[in-house]
């Protein structure tokens, strides 16, 4: 089933009776060459690129709940590639390039909208650090522009430029950054993988790994044993729980991050805006809701819900930044499990168990990485070597002293 | 969340700074033969359990004591709190 304008028109004439489910719902087979644990954005993208780009077959994705039921279905949908460090920036720029071609690649509307990401700065030192970041971004082949206060005022006049405590001095703009429709990304990858023969198995919880002589043989699941040549784990906030079944302790903690959506409003925000004096980011969805978020709650949590102090903090940041949203009512809020790593950067690597691979530690920024994460993980699974942009994401970088600490806060996962 | 401070009674979690897993009180011996590996483990690796978790909360906006709080990471229920000093001394007496 190919999507096109003609198809939409033809279906309209037929009363939309010709649409079919986007993927099959197959029974698990007894064994596969590749088993991907986790049917979220990263797992589905991994399966898609394994089948499409690396030409592999006999692939299954095992998902405990329904496809896209984790963080891909509960994030603030921001895509950007404006990182500072050489271990990160080429990877995120690779991801941005994949985003730019994603809809044609998948024949699916993921609503990728490059409406620009504005990072505000409020002091001279922040100005200097953003200039440095902009240069690092440009050196890696991505795009960045430093905006003066006047440039910025012309673009977003509604900001509170003269806040007494945190006056806005300017901003770092990435014009190619923006947002995407988070569920659409999961559905597009799921459909693309299914069309290439990948078995997407839902309601199938992995309950253990079968490991013989240091080599993976398969996975125990709630729907029986499934043999596997290679197993790739991409389960985000549940990484600790899943890898513990393989006897591994990870350099990460699971934390809760909340996000919020207001009632639908007329278009007021042109792109993504982040506050530089507190952790706060906001954009407006195509439906009109203000989508915003702030810090993680800051303590270990698997609850998928947070507490009110962080809600209050995010609301305060929002009002300091743009007082006009003070009357907007909050429509809904939710929490997701973040796999907060010890340096704030992800891990895409093999493990000490032959045939078992791990993808995780995405902290609060996994959504933008979805395409490159899937591509790089598929590259690692299929070829046995890391993708050129993901070479720094090794599991042993902590013991070797090669941490990738964007924020420079050290081994404190709740500060990244 | 309200944390039952053993001296000050029930206090808002906002007064505290979260420091993480209570294992951080078990600093390895820097002169030990495997000190490098032990410190790497101590600094970077965590059990990260889904369930009961013992963790350090520093009463930064209060009496500046450090507490060992027992909390469920699934429900956020707080099951108990004691002074980290008492916790460390009890472990020392227990020969751990």
Interchain pair A399, B74: CB under 8 A = no
> Same structural domain for residues A151 and A227?
no
- For residue B44, the chain A residues in CB contact (below 8 A) are 251, 342, 398-399, 411
CATH of the domain at B82: 3.30.2270.10
**Contacts of residue A251 in chain B, CB cutoff 8 Å?**
44-46
Same domain (yes/no): A143, A26:
no
Q: Does any CB of chain A come closer than 8 Å to the CB of residue B49?
A: yes
Which pLDDT belongs to residue A104?
96
Domain CATH number, residue A367: 3.50.50.60
Q: Does A251 touch chain B (CB under 8 A)?
A: yes
The domain boundary residue, chosen from A341, A358, A384 = A341
Q: N- to C-terminal Cα distance for chain B?
A: 31
Instruction: State the pLDDT at residue A42.
Output: 98
Q: How many domains does chain A have?
A: 2
pLDDT tens string A347-398: 999 999 999 999 999 999 999 999 999 999 999 999 999 999 999 999 999 9
Domain shared by A259 and A327, yes or no? yes
Q: ∠A123-A127-A128 over CA atoms, to 5°? A: 120
Count: domains in chain B: 1
Low-confidence ranges of chain A (pLDDT < 50): none
* Ordered DSSP codes for A15-38: TT-----SS--PPP-SEEEEEEE-
Same domain membership, residue A329 and residue A191: no
Residue B96: pLDDT over 80: no
Same domain, A291 and A310: yes
Residue carrying structure tokens 């090669």: A402
pLDDT of residue A9: 95
On whether residue A41 sits in a domain, the answer given is yes
A387 and A317 co-located in one domain: no
SS3 of B54, please? strand
| Claim to verify: residue A244 and residue A368 sit in the same structural domain | yes
Identity of the residue in B40, B73, B75 whose CB atom sits nearest the CB atom of A300 = B73
A262 with A327, same domain: the answer is yes
If asked whether residues A22 and A66 sit together in one domain, one would say yes
Enclosing domain of residue B78: 2-92
Give domain status of residue A60, yes or no. yes
Note whether A363 and A388 are same-domain residues.
yes
Q: What per-residue confidence (pLDDT) applies to B94?
A: 78
With respect to residue A235, please indicate whether it lies within any of the assigned structural domains.
Answer: yes
- Structural domain boundaries enclosing A376: 5-77+183-252+343-400
Residue B71: predicted pLDDT: 98
Question: Which H/E stretch holds residue A152?
Answer: helix A149-155
* Residue-wise pLDDT tens digits, B14-28: 999 999 999 999 999
CATH at residue A330: 3.30.9.10
ipTM of the complex: 0.95
Is residue A93 domain-resident?
no
Q: How confident is the model at residue B95 (pLDDT cuts 50, 70, 90)?
A: low
What letter does residue A184 receive in the DSSP assignment?
A: H
A330 and A350 fall within a common domain: no
Verify that A247 and A286 share a domain, yes or no: no
Structure tokens at A98: 């994949």
């Amino acid at each position: 089933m190919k999507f096109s304008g003609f198809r939409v028109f033809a279906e309209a004439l037929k009363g939309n009776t010709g649409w079919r489910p986007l993927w099959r719902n197959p029974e698990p087979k007894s064994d596969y060459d590749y088993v991907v644990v986790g049917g979220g954005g990263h797992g589905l993208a991994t399966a898609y690129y394994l089948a499409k780009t690396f030409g592999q077959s006999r692939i299954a994705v095992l998902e405990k709940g329904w496809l896209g039921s984790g963080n891909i279905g509960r994030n603030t949908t921001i895509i950007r590639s404006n990182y500072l460090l050489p271990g990160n920036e080429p990877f995120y720029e690779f991801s941005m390039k994949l985003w730019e071609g994603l809809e044609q690649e998948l024949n699916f509307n993921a609503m990728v909208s490059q409406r620009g990401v504005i990072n505000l700065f409020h002091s001279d030192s922040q100005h200097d650090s953003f200039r440095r970041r902009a240069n690092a971004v440009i050196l890696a082949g991505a795009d960045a522009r430093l905006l003066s206060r006047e440039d910025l005022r012309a673009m977003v006049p509604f900001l509170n430029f003269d806040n007494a405590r945190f006056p806005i001095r300017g901003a770092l703009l990435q014009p190619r950054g923006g947002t995407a429709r988070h569920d659409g990304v999961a559905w597009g990858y799921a459909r693309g993988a299914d069309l290439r023969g990948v078995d997407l198995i839902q309601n199938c919880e992995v309950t253990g790994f079968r490991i013989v002589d240091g080599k993976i043989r398969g996975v125990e699941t709630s729907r029986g044993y499934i043999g596997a040549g290679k197993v790739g784990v991409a389960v985000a906030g549940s990484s600790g729980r899943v890898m513990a079944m393989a006897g591994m302790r990870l350099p990460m903690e699971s934390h809760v991050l909340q996000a919020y959506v207001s009632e639908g409003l007329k278009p007021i925000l042109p792109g993504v805006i982040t506050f530089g004096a507190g952790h706060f980011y906001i954009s407006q969805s195509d439906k009109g809701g203000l989508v915003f978020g702030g810090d993680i709650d800051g303590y270990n949590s698997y609850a998928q819900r947070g507490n009110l102090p962080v809600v209050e903090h995010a609301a305060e940041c929002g009002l300091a930044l743009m007082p006009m949203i003070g009357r907007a009512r909050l429509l809904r809020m939710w929490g997701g499990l973040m796999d907060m790593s010890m340096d704030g950067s992800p891990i895409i690597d093999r493990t000490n168990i032959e045939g078992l691979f791990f993808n995780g530690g995405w902290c609060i920024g996994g959504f933008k990485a979805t395409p490159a994460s899937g591509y790089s993980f598929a590259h690692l699974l299929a070829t046995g070597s890391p993708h050129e942009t993901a070479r720094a994401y090794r599991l042993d970088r902590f013991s070797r002293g090669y941490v990738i600490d964007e924020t420079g806060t050290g081994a404190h996962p709740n500060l990244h | 969340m309200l944390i039952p401070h053993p001296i000050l009674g029930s206090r808002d979690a906002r007064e505290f700074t979260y420091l993480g897993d209570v294992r951080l009180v078990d600093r390895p011996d820097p002169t030990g033969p495997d000190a490098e590996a032990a410190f790497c483990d101590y600094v970077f690796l965590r059990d990260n359990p889904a369930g009961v978790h013992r963790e350090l909360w520093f009463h930064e906006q209060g009496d500046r004591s450090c507490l060992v709080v027992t909390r469920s990471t699934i429900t956020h229920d707080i099951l108990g709190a004691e002074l980290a000093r008492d916790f460390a001394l009890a472990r020392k007496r227990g020969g751990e």
